[in-house]
Structure formats: C-alpha cells, structure tokens
Amino acid sequence: MEDEVDRVLLKSAILKLTDREKHIMELRFGFKTGVEKTQKEVADMLRNITKLHIKAWEKDNEQNEKRHNEQDTDNFQKKETQLLAKNHIMK
C-alpha cells in the first residue's frame, strides 16, 4: 500500500518537471529501462552538466516533493474532515 502511494506521489511530482528534468530523472532512476545510473554516469551522458549539478538538482526536487506531499496531505485531511462533518450533519 505504501509503495503504491509513493509511486502515485512520484508520478505526480514528475508531471511537474520540465522535459529536460524528466529525462534526467528517467536516466538517473531507470524509470523506462529499469537500470539506474549514477550521477556521474548521467552527467557524462549529457556532457553539459556536472555531477554536482545533478546532486543539487536532486536535493532541490526532493525538498519540493516533500513540500508538495505535505500540501497534498493537508488538502486530503481537510477534505476528509469536511466529508466527515457533512456526513455527520446529514445523519
């Protein structure tokens, strides 16, 4: 169950990326091929970015994903509370 939630959140986060960022993520984590690559391997493949750039970008995206997940969780909890309150009133 937890893995499925993680997969859904990851897919949601990926949709927010630029095409270049998506390509980097696909290479790095093997979303299409199933073969993960190191930061250096990805940087070497792209040749115009450094390993440090990929590492910084991953950290930024991780922080953004956490922030979005917290917002999504808050929104879910608010909707759930509203539904529970609405159902309680209807009874």
Residue 21 has what pLDDT?
A: 86
Residue 81 has what pLDDT?
A: 72
Q: Does residue 90 carry a pLDDT above 60?
A: no
Cα(72)–Cα(2) distance, rounded to whole angstroms?
15
Using one digit for the tens of pLDDT, what is the confidence trace for 27-47? 888 888 889 998 888 888 877
Using one digit for the tens of pLDDT, what is the confidence trace for 44-70? 887 767 777 777 777 887 877 777 777
Cα(42)–Cα(13) distance, rounded to whole angstroms?
20
Q: Which of 53, 52, 70 is nearest to 13 (CA)?
A: 70
Rounded to two decimals, the pTM is 0.46
Residue 63 has what pLDDT?
A: 79
